Chain A
Amino acid sequence: MSEVCSALREPLVLGNKSLAQVTEDVCAPLERKPTALWWTAFLVAASFLLLGVVAVTYQIMTGIGVWGLNRTVGWAFDITNFVFWVGIGHAGTLISAILFLFRQKWRTAVNRSAEAMTLFAVICAGLFPVIHMGRPWLAFWMAPYPNSRGSLWVNFRSPLIWDFFAISTYFLISLVFWYIGLIPDLATVRDRTPPGWRKRIFGFFALGWNGSFRTWHRYEMVYLLLAGLATPLVVSVHSIVSTDFATAVLPGWHATIFPPYFVAGAIFSGMAMVLTLMMIARKVMHLEDYITTRHIDAMAKMVLTTSCMVALAYGIEFFSALYSDNPYEYFVFMNRALGPLAWSYWIMVGCNVVIPQLLWIKRVRSTLPVIFVIMVFVNIGMWFERFIIIVTSLHRDFLPSSWSSYAPTLVEIATLLGSFGLFFTCFLLFCRFLPMIAIAEIKGVVQTVADAARVGAGANAPTRAASATAAPMDALAVSEGGHA
């Protein structure tokens, strides 16, 4: 294969790292004591988590009445948070699985932490359907097991049961995918650790991995298959979550575009969260050579793309409501923009549609603090989008005599903060105890000094004319590239 060097393709890992250096860079944070910064962040996150635990305990012991729900607005913060967290989880699978299938090698720097983020987000998400039940201790009734109630089966036609299957499958498959990816890295850490309880724990979970290529060969196939399974899975999960709304008759809820629209929105908010976390992590853990500005640029472009898709979906919905000649549909959209909850609608539009358009400008995409701020706004906007969809369609539907308003109680706000606390606590623990970058994968894409020397010494980097006359067809053909 010809090895024409061109500045068109920038290196994925900066700094001319050797393989040993890669191991050292990624494993060093695990081996030294956590910094004061880590402790501060951890304590803040843990205190939010504690607040959430207190709120949820109080709510389960007292009842759903401590929330601000009423007959008209039966779902508000609980389901908003559920959909929000499921959406955040989707970017991790996108980076892990979908970008893998598209042979985007730059994903190797961020995929491990993105997958971990997915798991934690799905855990946060899965709590909400359970606590929003009147009797959470009977949550196991959602599973179709043979029972003594005549063998009363679950209603398989209900989207809420589809949710149960989808979220649990998503969690389990993400866990398996993440763990399979971790096995070689756990072996790396195991082999670096001096004998002791730490080595035994890492050794236990590393399953005796020894780098055998026969195993790597099968491993690659398993990874490809899991990526191929996870891709439709992630699309199906958020589509099923969207059918919680789309299968209802409410105007503003029943729209056939909901499944792809929700998936685009999920990738949008998830990618923003990944960027937020990555930008902090790379600074704090000194991984700027791995999570480079190129990675941030690529992810920012994905945020911009999905922002445009979400904006398009808003337009399609509004236009279709006008076109449908249905006064209820028309009213829902007018109420969203001009009714009592209009302030939240305009926050949503501003944060989701207007602010991300700044990312068109190259200067903005190269200024990291600005990207960080934009991503925080995106997350706020996407939370409000779910809030708008749920509450505005519920609080003013067909019958004006049923119209109502909604205000959250302190317990609901504390629960929301608690979910953030849980997410960040888990993520901080992950950063502390497990390698944050996929060591084996990134070694596969790092171009070492030795490789560069070999390329330079071996073949003379041919000019276009030389390569054209010498091996014209080779130059035209595309060379081997990625994993798939």
Chain B
Amino acid sequence: MSRRLLVGTFTTEHDLLEAARASREYGYPIVDAYTPYPVHGLDEALGLKPSRLSRVCLLCGLIGVGVAMAFQQWTSAIDWPINVGGRPFNSWPAFVPVAFEVMVLLAGFGVVFAFLGVSRLYPGKAADGPASAVTDDEFVLMIEARGAATDTEAVLQLFQSHHAICTEEDDEDETAPEPPARNWRRWNWVLGGLLAVTVLMNWTLGSDPSRPNAEFLPEMVRGVAGESFGVHAELPRGMVMQTPEPGVIARGQMPLHYQATPKDAERAGEELTNPLDGNDARWQARGAAVYANTCQVCHGASGKGDGPVSQRGIPPPPSYLAEKALKMKDGQMFHVLTFGQVNMASYAAQVSREDRWAVILHLRKLQKTGAAP
């Protein structure tokens, strides 16, 4: 189906505007106008309503902000929450900037693509305007001649009365021209072929799920040094982390040849002496500090076994002022601290050897002050 077009070319926007207004008044169907720049008032003259692209923009923006906020929430609070400086996992004030940027990005691109789509603009499209001088300095008005309903002469007369420099009658063929369709079909073959090749390669070459996929720049993923818990045949027992040989001791740690038995506790009392000087204020202070941190909870500040833990249901330890404790030697106390006794566990891991001797100094002081009236 083709239609007959009446085309008038003008040299100023004013003439075009007046001609368009007059045409609308007379009810001539205006196909379009062509201008080198957007002429104000022409949208009213053509009867165009405000574009609805603003709604597309708003919609895309809302989607953008929603998706961005939701994604940040999910990654930071649900999927893999990481404590960064104590900030709450769901830190909405910190999520606002990214959400805002994504909103703008989506809104902008959405509205631009919508515009290009609706206006049928795409790369490589051939220009199909009435005249190439439109982009320079000419203004064109295009009216459709609908059979006998439109008085062709009157329309051309209207154009002339508004100082048209040129008027034409054109037949416009409305069927789509062949070449673009042929181009699309060619592209379809190419892309379809590529898809087929990809599928074929995937099927034949396949992938071994037991081995890692292609990696980009693995760098330090596979180290040169042996992995700590891996198997290395060249090493004894295949282990990187070897156990120490029998008889090996840590530096500075002379071994204690005692068992965790009462008999050995007594033997320790006979054999070990406190290497620290009881009159040294530093060691006394140290002992007091360690006692307050470690022992006071059960034994109490005065050593009577009335610490807060003992008052809450744990069996209270015997008092230091009891006969047995007063008679106990330093070395046996050291054994008790190292190996534990009855309800008391070993404190060897928490309290260093020196600190244990210092605590014993403090215990003696408590016994002295407690015994005195």
In the complex they form, whether A and B have CB atoms below 8 Å apart is answered with yes
Q: Could you list which residues of chain A lie within 8 angstroms of chain B, going by C-beta atoms?
A: 18-20, 23, 135, 137-138, 144, 150-159, 161-162, 165-166, 169, 172-173, 176-177, 180, 183-184, 187-188, 190-192, 203-222, 225-226, 229-230, 232-233, 236, 240, 243, 440-441, 443-444, 448, 450-451, 454, 480, 483
Q: Which of these, B35, B84, B128, contacts A216 with CB under 8 Å?
A: B35
B128 touches A156 (CB 8 A): no
For B112-143 the 0/1 string (1 means CB < 8 A from A) is 10011011111111111110111111001000
Complex Cα–Cα for A172 and B110 (A)? 13
- Check A166/B38 contact, CB under 8 A, given A153-B80, A155-B84, A221-B51: no
Q: Which of these, B84, B109, B121, B136, contacts A188 with CB under 8 Å?
A: B136
| B346, chain A: closest CB distance, angstroms | 39
A173 touches B105 (CB 8 A): yes
Q: Which of these, B80, B94, B127, contacts A187 with CB under 8 Å?
A: B127
Q: Could you list which residues of chain B lie within 8 angstroms of chain A, going by C-beta atoms?
A: 11-12, 14, 32-40, 42-43, 46, 48, 50-51, 53-54, 57, 61, 71-72, 75-76, 79-80, 82, 84, 87, 91, 94-95, 97-98, 100-102, 104-105, 107-109, 111-112, 115-116, 118-130, 132-137, 140, 217, 219
B97 touches A208 (CB 8 A): no
Complex Cα–Cα for A446 and B40 (A)? 14
B38 touches A220 (CB 8 A): yes
Q: Which of these, A156, A177, A222, A443, contacts B36 with CB under 8 Å?
A: A443
Complex Cα–Cα for A229 and B122 (A)? 23
Show 22 residue pairs from A and B whose CB-CB distance is below 8 angstroms, ordered by the A residue: A162-B101, A169-B101, A169-B105, A183-B121, A184-B36, A184-B135, A188-B135, A203-B126, A205-B123, A210-B129, A211-B34, A212-B33, A212-B34, A213-B34, A213-B43, A215-B119, A219-B119, A220-B51, A222-B51, A222-B111, A243-B97, A454-B12
In the complex, number of A-B residue pairs with CB atoms less than 8 Å apart: 210
Complex Cα–Cα for A79 and B112 (A)? 33
A173 touches B108 (CB 8 A): yes
Interface of chain A: mostly helix, strand, loop or mixed: helix
- Top 3 nearest A-B pairs by Cβ distance? A208-B125, A210-B129, A19-B137
Complex Cα–Cα for A156 and B116 (A)? 33
Kindly report which residue of chain B lies nearest to residue A152, judged by CB atoms.
Answer: B80
| A415, chain B: closest CB distance, angstroms | 24
B34 touches A137 (CB 8 A): no
Q: Which of these, A144, A162, A183, contacts B75 with CB under 8 Å?
A: A144
Complex Cα–Cα for A480 and B112 (A)? 28
Most chain A CB atoms below 10 A, which of B46, B115, B126: B115
- Check A210/B34 contact, CB under 8 A, given A162-B97, A165-B97: yes
- Check A229/B108 contact, CB under 8 A, given A155-B84, A156-B76, A451-B14: yes
Kindly report which residue of chain B lies nearest to residue A441, judged by CB atoms.
Answer: B37
Q: Which B residues are in CB contact (< 8 Å) with A23?
A: 136-137
| A110, chain B: closest CB distance, angstroms | 17
Q: Which of these, B51, B84, B112, B133, contacts A191 with CB under 8 Å?
A: B133
A184 touches B97 (CB 8 A): no
Kindly report which residue of chain A lies nearest to residue B76, judged by CB atoms.
Answer: A156
